[in-house]
Chain A
Amino acid sequence: MSKKVKVQPIGGKPSDVEELKLESNYLRGSLTESLSNRITGGLPELDNRLLKFHGSYMQDDRDYRNERQKQKLEPYYQFMLRVVTPGGLSTPAQWLLMDELADKYGTGSLKLTTRQAFQLHGVLKWNLKSTIQEINEALLTTLAACGDVSRNVMCNPNPYQSDIHSEVFGWSQKLTSHLAPKTPAYHEIWLDGEKVESGEEEVEPIYGKVYLPRKFKIGIAVPPMNDVDVFSQDLGYIAIVENGKLVGFNVSVGGGMGMTHGDTNTYPQLAKVIGFVTPDQILDVAEKTVTIQRDYGNRSVRKNARFKYTIDRHGLDWFVDELHDRLGWELQPAREFSFDNTGDRYGWVKGVGGKWNLTLYVQGGRVVDTAGIKLRTALREIAKIHTGDFRLTANQNLVIANVTSQKKTKIAALLKEHGVEEGGNYSALRRSALSCVALPTCGLAMAEAERYLPTLIDKLEPILEEAGLRDEEINIRMTGCPNGCARPALGEIAFIGKAQGRYNMYMGAGFTGDRLSKLYRENIAEEEIIATLTPIFKHFAVERNKGEHFGDFVVRTGYVKAVTDGTNFHD
């Protein structure tokens, strides 16, 4: 191995957030004091930054922000709490607890996120501590659900190969806990833990005092399903199954969705596969990858701080070399694999061992009772009798897993009783839709997403129907801002919010999550969206090749150029 010139980290004046982390004394800051201030329902900016590491963001109801200002009331501050559920797994007891907390402290609904986590919205500051305590009592945590650390590790909840799933799921749990922050601050602040005076160096052996430059996302896919959008992850593992056994994982690095409108130095990027490792090696690979990003990531400019920019700045070869150096061993060559889709398969499926799995469509990941569909009640009733588990999918849906034959009948009856469809009756477009929370609570949103996408789909469905495309799966994704929570750069059709009612429209991503989409129209409103898509749908219906997906079609017929790499996304 030839010795190369050592690459230097990018340097530059550390951003304010870096200063904050440094001075926070391992994520303590003045959180305790700010939480007990009764004059405001909010937190000062610095403590809010720290709070993310504890799994919560301060938000406010933006629908009423101006109105309240006139009323001499501060914004309606409230907190989103995100619960870490590695691989999206939760027990019926945990489900019941989250359901209860949604009423007790939240807004009466549960959000299943695009990263297989639970979110509670609308928790008031005075209730944060009780909520977090109750979550912890159910053996769940919010620690590191947000913040500049490794997040909830995603994992395919594959209901077809349950024995493989359970093994892969085990690794997602191990990864999550291995990379969890070790600071006692969380216990001190929320769980009334003993205040621990600790030796400086030992507190965070992986992260150190200033944690990572930005968030870090890990996902594990089990081919042929790429539901976790493995190439959108900073670090991805692709399970390799040979002769019915899990032999190891291909490793992919450097993916990420976020960008900033109008800044071409920011872009979505897909991860690249760099090799193969055996299962027992993946913790080591993850830890060393994280430390490389810790040492080389951009700590001066936050919007260029994600791992994908570190890799693009120094090159994939540099990274692999550096990784090998830190591991002290080398990855094997990548193994063959192929994906065929990123979606979920709805309905009942019999898995290994004779247990049943039901994948339920959950619109926008929002578990809520509406006039006709009492989804939340149905799931509560099911959780009371269910002996298996629940699995949150990367597409914001829900798998009721490991159902015995006797319980299957009861569960099906409960769903029917509460007006819940299993998913198959929805149009393929609706089933393949993904949206982030956006307005009114997300502070970053420039436009609607979760609240609006269903309405837009209502208007697109008749057009598709007329073109004979009702059962054609087309990934459609919408986010309120370009940070990419619903992974829009991997939508065959994607909308990224620009302003109230206005979106940039992207097309041409690969159906299996292997190609980014491309900007097609800028700043358009509903009328123009429909006027733009209608002829393309018709064209697609008539001139598509056999089995050709929409994303591939719009590239082949020249609506958009194929994006071959994130670095030419803006070209």
Chain B
Amino acid sequence: MQLQVTNSPFTSEQAELINKLLPTLTEAQINWLSGFLTFYRAGNAGSAAAQVATAVALEAPAAVEAPTAPQLPREATILFGSQTGNSQRLAGRLADKLKGQGFEVTLSAMNQYKTNKLKEVPYLFIVASTHGEGDPPDNALTFHEFMHSKRAPKLEGTKFSVLALGDTSYEFFCKTGQDFDVKLAELGAQRIVDRVDCDVDFEDAAAGWLAAVEGAVSAASASAAPAASGAATAAAPAAAGESEYTRANPFMAEVLDSLNLNGRGSDRETRHLELSLEGSGLTYAPGDAVGVYPQNDPALVDEIIAELKWNAEEAVVTGKSGETSPLRSALLHHYEITVLTKPLLEKAVAFTGNSRLAELVNNKEELKAYMNGRDLLDLLRDFAPWTLKAADIANLLRKLPPRLYSIASSVEAHPEEVHLTIRKVEYEAHGRDRKGVCSVYTSERLQPGDKLPIFIQQNPNFKPPVNPDTPVIMVGPGTGVAPFRAFLEEREESGAQGQTWLFYGDRHFVTDFLYQTDWQRMLKDGVLTKLDVAFSRDSKEKVYVQNRMLESGAQLYQWLENGAHVYVCGDEKHMAHDVHKALLSIIEQHGGKSADEAAAYVSALQEQGRYQRDVY
């Protein structure tokens, strides 16, 4: 697109200059410039509610002068609320960029941040993810509550921006980030870059936000900015000793072993995958996760292609820079086809001759109900006739996101290996069998000797205590037990002496006791001090881990008083809530505390990093 006098407000001289400049800009530079211009205008106009404009749709420029707004101190506070570590990592990247501009940066998890400092903060940046039904991550809970309480300070002197992470397949997409964004504006803070909401494939959108923020702060203190700053630091520098393999450049890990941990007769299947890290330079710590890039079910891909009578060999775009793949391969490896999202359905309206889809999209409740448990094939079958061409999928579908699995091994115990525990998800919905993308791929199609694209996802928010003598309480029913195998193996290798207590549960003792012989050995060797198990389907009364915790409440409270750390991993919807309730009730009952005191006790544990959760 070329700017002309006729299609823009610019003089021919301005248009020529812009036309000359624009094609030379990298994407990062465009983002940076976008942020810069926004702030440039905001600074000049004094508008608190600046809107992010696209790089080329500019209003008439103000006089090109140095900003007249008073210079703010070059101090930035970056707060993150992170469950799996993505927000934390992105916050770290922003910190590096701002430091590169000569900023003094405070980088902190929200629950570690002293809120009385908030009033004096000149620049505040929030990076926060959202979980489940719009919930903040654990380390954002107390800060989120504080900001929405009467105690939240007026922030008229503060400039801010929010980066929100989430998943469009959930109803309350990016809610936590949105909450902060709205709240900060309400408190009088000035938004210098519009909030960006990232879907599961967050890298590009997040990089855009980072560059925009960098541009904006640069404009705010233009003359003083060092020449070397800016787009050059767009890519976060790799830390010393880090592997070249990342989320963007996954390592092809060979499958060394793959076995089903559930015995015959079980109605579940849980894969234990042993992957080789040999030659990757990848390493990890207990509590970290592995991101796996799966493949879609070939049968489902073929059904989709057949449904629209597409040509499986037709080349379609799969990469940012226009790389292409044959359609079948694109659907297998690059695009998400098992989940429906609101943006997808909204876009799809344009490709169907069936007016019912537009009606559905406009009815929030019905839309939500429809998306639940349905996939692309359902959509294609339910809303024919389609004008959708294979070439359109690049605009319609999300990129196939990697799946994160808590690591089930210690690299000290298994050098150059990483073990994962993946439960196969299969169910029937709306008249069709549904299969979990990654779990079914790894259990049914992935064979020892095959290679699997993976990366390591550090999780700084799920780490065993630094002091080897600190007692550890671990609650991990089902596949939630995976990281505790890593914790305990690590302790076995390091010879840590602190007491350990594991709560495990599943359906049936005989078939579903994951890693049973590992725990038995650890108990015998003393690495594991106590093991309590609950099998819900073996007795008339269903028994769960929280019941076992309550049974041993007095002792559990004693462990807490002795400084124990509590770790919870697994199902977020039910288990984590029930365990949390059990914990509160144990503290109330055995600590002789009121409900409020117990809640404060647990909050304190959380703030001290003594109550960490990895729930999903």
Residues of A bordering B, CB below 8 Å:
38-41, 64, 67-74, 76, 124, 126
Pairwise interchain contact A76-B510, C-beta atoms closer than 8 A: yes
Pairwise interchain contact B517-A73, C-beta atoms closer than 8 A: yes
0/1 string, B515-544, CB within 8 A of A gives 1:
111111001000000011100001100000
Least CB distance from A39 to B in Å reads 6
Q: Which of A41, A72, A126 contacts B518 (CB 8 A)?
A: A72
Q: Which of B260, B263, B511, B520 contacts A40 (CB 8 A)?
A: B520
Least CB distance from B410 to A in Å reads 16
Pairwise interchain contact B523-A124, C-beta atoms closer than 8 A: no
Give 9 nearest A-B pairs by CB, closest first. Answer: A72-B517, A72-B515, A73-B263, A38-B533, A73-B516, A71-B261, A39-B531, A74-B516, A68-B263
For the complex, give the distance between the alpha carbons of A40 and B520 in Å: 8
For the complex, give the distance between the alpha carbons of A225 and B252 in Å: 75
**Centre residue among B263, B511, B518, B520 by max chain A CB count within 10 A:** B263
Question: 11 pairs across A/B with beta carbons < 8 Å?
Answer: A38-B532, A39-B516, A39-B531, A40-B520, A64-B263, A71-B261, A72-B261, A73-B263, A74-B516, A76-B510, A126-B509
Q: Which of B510, B511, B516, B532 contacts A72 (CB 8 A)?
A: B516
For the complex, give the distance between the alpha carbons of A235 and B510 in Å: 41
Asked if B262 is at the interface of the complex by the 8 Å CB criterion, the answer is yes
For the complex, give the distance between the alpha carbons of A69 and B264 in Å: 12
- Enumerate chain A residues within 8 angstroms of B523, measured Cβ to Cβ: 39
- Enumerate chain A residues within 8 angstroms of B261, measured Cβ to Cβ: 71-73
Least CB distance from A187 to B in Å reads 24
Pairwise interchain contact B533-A39, C-beta atoms closer than 8 A: yes
0/1 string, B535-574, CB within 8 A of A gives 1:
0001100000000000000000000000000000000000
Asked if B55 is at the interface of the complex by the 8 Å CB criterion, the answer is no
- Enumerate chain B residues within 8 angstroms of A76, measured Cβ to Cβ: 263, 510
Asked if B259 is at the interface of the complex by the 8 Å CB criterion, the answer is yes
Identify whether the interface residues of A are mostly helix, strand, loop, or mixed: loop
For the complex, give the distance between the alpha carbons of A72 and B260 in Å: 9
Asked if B39 is at the interface of the complex by the 8 Å CB criterion, the answer is no
* A-B contact sample (15 more), CB < 8 A, given A38-B509, A124-B510: A38-B532, A39-B519, A64-B264, A68-B263, A69-B517, A71-B261, A71-B262, A72-B272, A72-B514, A72-B515, A73-B513, A74-B520, A76-B510, A124-B509, A126-B538
- Enumerate chain A residues within 8 angstroms of B518, measured Cβ to Cβ: 72
- Enumerate chain A residues within 8 angstroms of B538, measured Cβ to Cβ: 124, 126
For the complex, give the distance between the alpha carbons of A68 and B262 in Å: 9
Those of B497-515 within 8 Å (CB) of chain A: 509-511, 513-515
Residue of B nearest to A78 (CB): B510
Residues of B bordering A, CB below 8 Å:
259-264, 272, 509-511, 513-520, 523, 531-533, 538-539
Least CB distance from A89 to B in Å reads 33
Residue of B nearest to A63 (CB): B264
Pairwise interchain contact B539-A126, C-beta atoms closer than 8 A: yes
Pairwise interchain contact A41-B510, C-beta atoms closer than 8 A: yes
- Enumerate chain B residues within 8 angstroms of A41, measured Cβ to Cβ: 509-510
Least CB distance from A431 to B in Å reads 35
Least CB distance from B514 to A in Å reads 8
For the complex, give the distance between the alpha carbons of A569 and B13 in Å: 118
Q: Which of A39, A71, A126 contacts B263 (CB 8 A)?
A: A71
For the complex, give the distance between the alpha carbons of A39 and B519 in Å: 9
For the complex, give the distance between the alpha carbons of A41 and B512 in Å: 13
- Enumerate chain A residues within 8 angstroms of B532, measured Cβ to Cβ: 38
- Enumerate chain A residues within 8 angstroms of B264, measured Cβ to Cβ: 64, 67
Least CB distance from B569 to A in Å reads 18
Least CB distance from A173 to B in Å reads 36
Q: Which of B259, B513, B531, B533 contacts A70 (CB 8 A)?
A: B259
Least CB distance from B375 to A in Å reads 32
Residue of A nearest to B512 (CB): A73
- Enumerate chain A residues within 8 angstroms of B511, measured Cβ to Cβ: 73
- Enumerate chain B residues within 8 angstroms of A64, measured Cβ to Cβ: 263-264
For the complex, give the distance between the alpha carbons of A41 and B533 in Å: 12
Least CB distance from A66 to B in Å reads 12
For the complex, give the distance between the alpha carbons of A98 and B259 in Å: 38
Least CB distance from B365 to A in Å reads 45
- Enumerate chain A residues within 8 angstroms of B262, measured Cβ to Cβ: 71
Least CB distance from A198 to B in Å reads 34
- Enumerate chain A residues within 8 angstroms of B509, measured Cβ to Cβ: 38, 41, 124, 126
For the complex, give the distance between the alpha carbons of A216 and B538 in Å: 37
For the complex, give the distance between the alpha carbons of A93 and B518 in Å: 45
For the complex, give the distance between the alpha carbons of A68 and B266 in Å: 12
- Enumerate chain A residues within 8 angstroms of B531, measured Cβ to Cβ: 39
For the complex, give the distance between the alpha carbons of A67 and B517 in Å: 13
For the complex, give the distance between the alpha carbons of A536 and B110 in Å: 89
Least CB distance from A301 to B in Å reads 31
For the complex, give the distance between the alpha carbons of A70 and B448 in Å: 15
For the complex, give the distance between the alpha carbons of A124 and B520 in Å: 19
- Enumerate chain A residues within 8 angstroms of B515, measured Cβ to Cβ: 72
For the complex, give the distance between the alpha carbons of A67 and B263 in Å: 8
Least CB distance from A41 to B in Å reads 6
Least CB distance from B140 to A in Å reads 36
- Enumerate chain A residues within 8 angstroms of B539, measured Cβ to Cβ: 126
Residue of B nearest to A77 (CB): B510
- Enumerate chain B residues within 8 angstroms of A68, measured Cβ to Cβ: 263
For the complex, give the distance between the alpha carbons of A69 and B533 in Å: 20
Pairwise interchain contact B510-A71, C-beta atoms closer than 8 A: no
Residue of A nearest to B518 (CB): A72
Least CB distance from A522 to B in Å reads 35
For the complex, give the distance between the alpha carbons of A126 and B509 in Å: 10
Pairwise interchain contact A71-B520, C-beta atoms closer than 8 A: no
Residue of A nearest to B504 (CB): A39
Least CB distance from B524 to A in Å reads 10
- Enumerate chain A residues within 8 angstroms of B263, measured Cβ to Cβ: 64, 67-68, 71, 73, 76
- Enumerate chain B residues within 8 angstroms of A73, measured Cβ to Cβ: 261, 263, 511, 513, 516-517
- Enumerate chain B residues within 8 angstroms of A126, measured Cβ to Cβ: 509, 538-539
For the complex, give the distance between the alpha carbons of A230 and B263 in Å: 44
Given A38-B533, A39-B523; A74-B259 close (CB under 8 Å): no
**Centre residue among A39, A71, A76, A126 by max chain B CB count within 10 A:** A71
